Structure 1
Amino acid sequence: MPLPQTEQTVHGIDVSHYQGTPDWQQIASQPLHFVYLKATDGITYLDPQFKANLSQLKDTPLLYGAYHFFEPKDDPKQQAAHYLSYVQGQALPLVPVVDIEVTQGVAADEIQTKLQVWLDEVEQALGCRPMIYSNGPFWQRYLGTQFNHYPFWLADYAVQPTLPASRDNWQLWQYSEKGQITGISQLVDLNVFKGTPEALASLRCAITEKEQ
């Protein structure tokens, strides 16, 4: 597993059905701390591997969460309801994530308005602030400072991360989309958390205790 040239030691992966059927016991035996699973996309798509992955992850020491791929053309309340219908009651330890990286021709101000609706709906339902996943150029052009109080998961496939000018920090950094680890036959995204294993608790969602 290639590691970035940083002081961070808390590593994780994110997966969807594209990674096939992972062997989570093998994966958990490696120096990994967390996993994010794709749950939903837009207002209709459900990742077919999500619940199987979730069921097996519960028998490992890995922390895990679920993300939604945001479609700017779709109604944001319907997207939030779609995501929540799939993840509520699952006792996911990590905060929810929204992946926003496409415009579908929608203007920046409309993207911002719709994204805020999704974030508000999910935060109200789950009781914890979601994290936003995006790349630096997209954040800079379409999001800006309005969302700086949300935790940021930066996608930047480089030796060192480069933040958008409007942000001064990141919590997760996706540094590679070509990871190879035992237990997954396909290439997988690799990530690091900016902090210690103990500090990873800052990304835990309070809903865990409520739902268990």
Structure 2
Amino acid sequence: MVLLLSGFALILYFALWEKWEERQTATIESVRYDAFGVTMPSGYAIHGIDVSSYQGVIHWPSVKKMISGDLRMGFVFMKATEGLNDTDKRFHTNWEKAKAAGMIRGAYHFFLATKSGKQQALQFIKQVELKKGDLPPVIDIEKLYGVKPVLMRQRVKEFLETIEAYYRVRPIIYTYADFYERHLGDDFKKYPLWVAHYFQPDKPRVQRDWHFWQHSEDGSIDGIRHKVDCNVFNGDSVKFKQLLMH
């Protein structure tokens, strides 16, 4: 009887959850903005966003269709995992629906310097299946959490090497400009860089080549109720296509 009631409760839960999702999707579809809400850096042809469960339910067709002037969002990075066990609660839904809407997608892992780099990589691998046309995997490293920089770098290297061996592509490092300069530097120059640096009009202030620039965290995007991080790609469509998974 207990098992029967538990099964019924589970079925009811998923039915209610599905109805809630449908209701939320219908509501989010009506979210529209006159423009992106931030000043877009000039001279960049390819723009994109990054999201996590913080943005809630997203109506991806609206994201894909939004255009302001001659600008539109061409790609999205989304949070997949964190630490050793956590998976973003909206990752798998976002992953599939963004692809269905025609968005070029990428996934990132929020790295905890207090944990094993290899084990964190395995958590990402467990949750993320990359396909042809996806962006390379990303490590998001922002804080030391009290860990000595030398140990942090060792664990980051473990993560990157495990990821590269599995997906057969060089991962992207995401971090703030100051964190990169102070704690990563030359040891990681061979990896593509996605750098966060705000209040800079034309490019991030970082002393190395970079691929992506997160220039604002205050974007307004159709189909998304909350503010969104905005990014640009440092290159043309040919260079962008060369970066994608083959």
Cα 1:9/1:49, change in 2 over 3 Å: same
| The 10-residue stretch of structure 1 (82-91 or 25-34) with the greater mean CA deviation from structure 2 | 82-91
Within the alignment, does 1:17 sit opposite 2:53 as a pair?
yes
Within the alignment, does 1:203 sit opposite 2:243 as a pair?
yes
Within the alignment, does 1:180 sit opposite 2:200 as a pair?
no
Which residue matches 1:210?
none
TM-score, normalised relative to structure 1 = 0.92
Within the alignment, does 1:86 sit opposite 2:127 as a pair?
yes
Shift of 1:44: 1.2
Which residue matches 1:209?
none
Cα 1:63/1:52, change in 2 over 3 Å: same
Verify the 8 A CA contact 1:28 1:62 in the aligned structure 2: yes
- Identical aligned pairs, as a percentage? 35
Shift of 1:163: 3.1
2:243 maps to amino acid: L
2:230 maps to amino acid: L
CA distance in 1, matches of 2:218, 2:211: 21
Which residue matches 1:192?
232
Calculate the aligned-residue CA RMSD, in Å.
Answer: 1.4
SS of structure 2 residue aligned to 1:176 = strand
In structure 2, which of residues 194, 203, 209 is the aligned counterpart of residue 161 of structure 1?
203
SS of structure 2 residue aligned to 1:58 = helix
Verify the 8 A CA contact 2:138 2:173 in the aligned structure 1: yes
Which residue matches 1:53?
94
Within the alignment, does 1:4 sit opposite 2:45 as a pair?
no
CA distances 1:10-51 after superposition (whole Å, capped 9, x unpaired): 000000000001100000012111001100001011100001
- Give the helix-richer structure, 1 or 2: 2
Which residue matches 1:28?
64
Which residue matches 2:14?
none
Shift of 1:128: 0.5
CA distance in 1, matches of 2:106, 2:130: 13
CA distance in 2, matches of 1:55, 1:173: 25
1:147 maps to amino acid: F
Which residue matches 1:138?
179
CA distance in 2, matches of 1:38, 1:44: 14
CA distance in 1, matches of 2:168, 2:122: 15
State the structure with more CA Rg: 2
CA distances 1:100-150 after superposition (whole Å, capped 9, x unpaired): 010001111111111001000000000100000011110111101010110
Shift of 1:162: 3.2
Cα 1:177/1:89, change in 2 over 3 Å: closer
Gaps of 5+ in 2: 1-35, 67-71
TM-score, normalised relative to structure 2 = 0.79
SS of structure 2 residue aligned to 1:189 = strand
Report how many residues are paired: 204
Shift of 1:90: 5.8
Verify the 8 A CA contact 1:154 1:163 in the aligned structure 2: no
